[in-house]
Copies of this chain bind each other. A is one copy, B any other.
Amino acid sequence: MAPFSTGLGGRHGRSGLGDGRMMGQNGRPDLGALLWPRSVAVVGASPDMETLRGRIMKVMTGHAFKGSLYPISRSHGEVMGLKAYPSVADLPAPADLAILIIPAQHVPAELERCGKAGVRSAVVLSSGFAEATGGDGAGLQDEMRAIVKRYGMAVMGPNSEGFANTAAALCPTFSPAVEPSDRPLLPQGRARGQLAVIAQSGGIGFSFFDHGRAKELAFRYVVTTGNEACLDTLDFADFILDEGKVSALLMLLEDVKSPDSFRRVAEKALKAGVPIIVNKIGQSEAGMRAAASHTAALAGSYDAHRAMFQRYGLIEVRDLGEMVDIAADFVAFGSKLPAGKRVGICTASGGGGGWMADACTAAGLEVPQLDAATRAKIDVHLPVYGTSQNPVDATAQALHKIGYAGLARFVVESPAVDSVVVVMTARNAANLERQREAMTALAAEAGKPILLWSYTLPAPASVKLLSEAGYPLFTDIPNCARTLRAMADYRALRERFLRPIAVRAPFDVDRAAAQRGLAVAGPVLCEWEARPILAAYGIGSKDAGELVERADAAAAAAQKIGGAVALKVQSPDIAHKTEAGAVALNLVGADAVRTAYARVLGNAVRAVPNARVLGVLVQPMAPPGREVILGVKRDATFGPLLMVGLGGVNVEIFKDVALAPLPLSEADARDMLGRLKGAPLLGSFRGQPAADVNALVDLMVRLGQFASDHAETIAEIDLNPVLVHPQGQGVSVVDALIVKGQPQPLRT
């Protein structure tokens, strides 16, 4: 076993500190002391292999950690051949890291002891804190947090399963996944790119390692954060990104504790080109129940998380194995992500090629016919029952002659494709051994990613061989296709993100006016109250009708306006006017207006007997247009998000809406519209001219700016409907509602 074989060494290289430590920056706790300690004390260590306290010692002593390891035990003078100490206070020198594996109720006192003794960091493995349903676990967790803060320690947990730092051969965990075995922690042979796992769940965190190791992946860290009382997933991600040693991050997230931290870390990762492959536990109600009871996570709205992931290019994945597959190929091909969605498929199994073509198409990729020049080069080698069209079905016979690499090289050089999938059989490693050199050269020289799928169950030796040659091996068809799609999407999103954008002239907004209007308003602002405030941001028209208090005045207003009018009862107590019958549309003539006036007021009073009515709004009917719903809702974690949907049925029945965090650039707004399945409805459709998308985008950006500027005051905004008129004719905000409310502080 040679845990340092990657050449990275056991020391941490950042900021020139040669002693393997990190200094705490900006008063933040020192994660370097935690992940790269020179000395580790295990509080609660035991020689009894039947207990977790014994198993952790077995795991830790079984790896070639170069630092000092101190068992802390009151009942044993020696554990696993190491001298034990009765307390962290008795150590020859303060430990950099203490591992606590003791009952929850003793944890605060022990942390106090650690702090006093100068211990700089700790991992709390004990359970029974905020995740416990009975007892005072939450209180214990608060107590623990206060102590940790006082001493400025870096602390992982509680309810964590510890971590693994493979380069340091340090595994303070009882996870069986990193138990000493014949299999080294890092794959041997040629050095390859590394990745890291950060998971709130210990069991799942280490299972990523378990699955990935079988695929010859090199994990630099596995970090399991548990309840995250002090340090959270994003703190570790931040540290690992700053190190600059991994090409991908696998993340299992139960909640986000700080949205600012999320934004900062996600941006850092995107800039660095280190993809974050994520699953968010708690997408369903039952999943949320599980997360809450499990690591005391307060799972925020899944939709909001999803919108954040989309904004920052986090790659959201539904299966553990698929996450590992995607990470593996990003590590291998991160420097040559596909420039587009066109895939060339090479195969000796016609059925396998067809299946992969179907899977690629289902994943939103294209499988175009190859260009004539490429086909001519390939055809030379094919028997009559092969084909070079794409999938290129070379037949076993031709592949025997030119090999997978020979065939893939023809295809990867074709201008018609951005990436290549080779459908192969990897059950026999000896067959592949003959192709090792050619495959290795191809991986190094090709300018596009080449993904391999084995339709047979691969021999472990095949997996190893191909990994050394530079290729992860897929055994799952959709995973392979979805990985290519994720790589193409990630590259496109990142390039858009990195591109300097034309700075937009500052809005013609009157923030102060809006603020004043909001300050004096009640908790719910009906259209009449909301309009002038929104108008300060150029949203809707300030002058959109007349508020009247008598039927005659309504008729007079209608006459002044001319043409058909609408009447709408204005009351902060009637949010759903249409349902209450408090709206009348398309009224022509004084009589119609008078009759409608009485009707809508009567309906309003019947619907909400004690409603405060400001009056009835008389407005011209808006010209026709595509119906759009714009809304802003505050998420408990991420703050205000903008929602857009087209038409009523599309939103209600097909749930066809897009959500994005604020503020919003024009590009973001266009991206949202593009995500709608109903997007074609905004173009020329059924003889209608294209809608004024530019005006809609402008409205979305303004609304986003408004909601963002007043995020502390506004809980909800509804512009429903907005009518988008034909190109050049703008939009009409037909109705508007603002609900005030202050954000609730996040539980941490």
5 more contacts with CB within 8 A, not counting A204-B349, A204-B352, A318-B477, are: A132-B384, A290-B354, A294-B353, A318-B362, A320-B477
Known A207-B455, A477-B320, A654-B654; contact A281-B354, beta-carbon cutoff 8 A: yes
Cβ of A357 and Cβ of B284 under 8 Å apart?
Answer: yes
Cβ of A387 and Cβ of B284 under 8 Å apart?
Answer: no
Residues of chain B within 8 A (CB-CB) of A357 are: 284, 286-287, 289-290
Known A203-B425, A281-B351; contact A320-B455, beta-carbon cutoff 8 A: yes
Residues of chain B within 8 A (CB-CB) of A295 are: 350-351
Is residue A46 contacting chain B, with contact meaning CB distance below 8 A? Answer: no
Cβ of A201 and Cβ of B350 under 8 Å apart?
Answer: yes
Contact with B along A341-354 (1 / 0, CB 8 A): 00001001111111
Is residue A291 contacting chain B, with contact meaning CB distance below 8 A? Answer: yes
Residues of chain B within 8 A (CB-CB) of A350 are: 131, 201, 203, 290-291, 293-295
Q: Which of A86-94, A565-573, A676-684 contacts its partner?
A: A676-684
Q: How far is the CB of A663 from chain B (nearest CB, A)?
A: 30
Is residue A475 contacting chain B, with contact meaning CB distance below 8 A? Answer: yes
Cβ of A354 and Cβ of B294 under 8 Å apart?
Answer: yes
Known A177-B456, A207-B456; contact A133-B387, beta-carbon cutoff 8 A: yes
Is residue A340 contacting chain B, with contact meaning CB distance below 8 A? Answer: no
Cβ of A319 and Cβ of B477 under 8 Å apart?
Answer: yes
Is residue A383 contacting chain B, with contact meaning CB distance below 8 A? Answer: yes
Interface residues of A (CB under 8 A from B): 127-129, 131-135, 137, 159, 176-177, 199-207, 210-211, 214, 252, 254, 279, 281-291, 293-295, 318-321, 345, 348-355, 357-362, 367-369, 383-387, 389-391, 393, 395, 425, 427-428, 455-457, 475-478, 647-650, 652-654, 656, 677-678, 680-681, 686
In this complex, what residue of B is CB-closest to A680? Answer: B653
Query: Residue among A128, A252, A353, A677 with the most chain B CB within 10 A?
Result: A353
Residues of chain B within 8 A (CB-CB) of A649 are: 647, 649-650, 678, 681
User: CA separation between A521 and B647, bound complex, in Å?
Assistant: 43
Residue from B293, B368, B383, B677 within 8 A of A393 (CB atoms):
B293
Cβ of B254 and Cβ of A351 under 8 Å apart?
Answer: yes
Q: How far is the CB of A122 from chain B (nearest CB, A)?
A: 19
Q: How far is the CB of A208 from chain B (nearest CB, A)?
A: 9
Residues of chain B within 8 A (CB-CB) of A352 are: 201, 203-204, 207
Known A204-B352, A349-B201; contact A286-B395, beta-carbon cutoff 8 A: no
Residues of chain B within 8 A (CB-CB) of A383 are: 127-128, 132
Q: How far is the CB of A209 from chain B (nearest CB, A)?
A: 9
Residues of chain B within 8 A (CB-CB) of A290 are: 350, 353-354, 357, 391, 393
User: CA separation between A362 and B284, bound complex, in Å?
Assistant: 8
Residue from B134, B351, B648, B656 within 8 A of A201 (CB atoms):
B351
The 8 closest A-B CB pairs, nearest first, are A201-B351, A294-B350, A290-B354, A203-B349, A284-B361, A286-B367, A286-B357, A132-B385
Cβ of B455 and Cβ of A176 under 8 Å apart?
Answer: no
User: CA separation between A647 and B649, bound complex, in Å?
Assistant: 11
Cβ of A654 and Cβ of B681 under 8 Å apart?
Answer: no
Cβ of A389 and Cβ of B211 under 8 Å apart?
Answer: no
Q: How far is the CB of A631 from chain B (nearest CB, A)?
A: 18
In this complex, what residue of B is CB-closest to A212? Answer: B457
Residues of chain B within 8 A (CB-CB) of A457 are: 207, 210-211, 214
Cβ of B294 and Cβ of A476 under 8 Å apart?
Answer: no
